Copies of this chain bind each other. A is one copy, B any other.
Amino acid sequence: VIVTLTTDFGTADGYAGEMKGVILAGCPEVRLVDITHDVPRGDIEAGARVLARIWDRYPADTVHVAVVDPGVGSSRRGIAAAAGGNWFVGPDNGLLTLVTHGHAVDEVRNLGASERPIGDTAPTFHGRDVFAPAAARLAAGADPDDLGELLPTDELILLPIPAPERLAGLIRGRVAHVDRFGNLATDVRAEWLTGDRFLVEIGDATIRGPARTYADGRSGEVLVLIGSDGSLEIAVRGGSAAERLSATRGTAVVVRTTG
């Protein structure tokens, strides 16, 4: 069984290393996969986006542990949720928001309300003391009933991520993610576009699309293309679109379909 890890802990402090030890001690045959420990600190939406990108590439029964948890130890719940044949373990703070876009949540367990307390719990490190042990139990084939009480799936906390506005020939969206290359992923889905061509407006720039890949166009040219997650993406050949366009997550994007 695979357990993946997505956190904002970095690696240098040893927090992620402690979590891995707890998981391996609880389920020695588990296969650990580091997704990232470099989610920006406390940025739940960024963590939600990573999780949504990666999870359905993994085999059924994979357990995804995601811990970006500024509210650790507060009244926010800890949960294990089943969706799409995988388990998701972490704080109930919105990390599953983007997984739920298009995938039903089948079951949610309240880890904090477990009959058996899960480990000795430091109120500042549920990653180690609640989520890692719960992931190890799930990986070891535990009955979900032993993890915690069932919660109504519609009580799952979702981030208030604004939905794009879709009008005839016009979509108003936003930059949803800036990647390491300065590429701007948007929340505009490629399948919403009618026709073969469109114009994208961001800041003062208007870009005609679509290009097919980053290497299209001249060096330094701003391109708009269909990103690998199926959304419109704005890029600069050989450069950073984020720098060039002074764009960050949330920057408004307007798409006009043209004939």
Which residues of A from 207 to 232 have beta carbons under 8 Å from B? 212-216, 225-228
From B11, B50, B123, A38 is in contact (CB under 8 Å) with B11
The answer to whether A38 and B12 touch (CB under 8 A), given A73-B212, A123-B212, A215-B70, is yes
Segment from A27-35, A145-153, A198-206 that makes contact with B: A27-35
Minimum CB distance partner of A73 in chain B = B213
A77 at the interface (CB under 8 A from B): no
Which residues of A from 228 to 250 have beta carbons under 8 Å from B? 228, 233, 238
A141 at the interface (CB under 8 A from B): no
State the CA gap A216–B36 with chains docked (Å).
28
Known: A12-B180, A17-B33, A72-B215. 18 other contacts (CB 8 A): A9-B180, A11-B37, A12-B38, A13-B53, A13-B177, A16-B36, A17-B53, A18-B57, A20-B33, A25-B59, A41-B181, A42-B238, A57-B128, A72-B213, A73-B214, A123-B225, A124-B228, A124-B233
The answer to whether A14 and B180 touch (CB under 8 A), given A33-B20, A74-B215, A228-B125, is no
The answer to whether A50 touches B17 (Cβ under 8 A) is: yes
The answer to whether B33 touches A4 (Cβ under 8 A) is: no
Minimum CB distance partner of A181 in chain B = B41
Minimum CB distance partner of A29 in chain B = B31
* Cβ of A78 to closest chain B Cβ, rounded Å: 13
Interface 1/0 per residue, A30-68 and B, CB below 8 Å: 011111111111100010011101110111001000000
State the CA gap A8–B214 with chains docked (Å).
15
Chain B residues near A57 (CB-CB < 8 A): 17-18, 20-22, 25, 128
- Number of chain copies forming the complex: 3
Minimum CB distance partner of A230 in chain B = B122
Chain B residues near A10 (CB-CB < 8 A): 36, 38, 180
A179 at the interface (CB under 8 A from B): yes
Chain B residues near A40 (CB-CB < 8 A): 12
The answer to whether A13 touches B50 (Cβ under 8 A) is: yes
Which residues of A from 47 to 103 have beta carbons under 8 Å from B? 49-51, 53-55, 57-59, 62, 70-74
Minimum CB distance partner of A54 in chain B = B17
The answer to whether A228 touches B11 (Cβ under 8 A) is: no
Chain B residues near A15 (CB-CB < 8 A): 53, 179, 228
A2 at the interface (CB under 8 A from B): yes
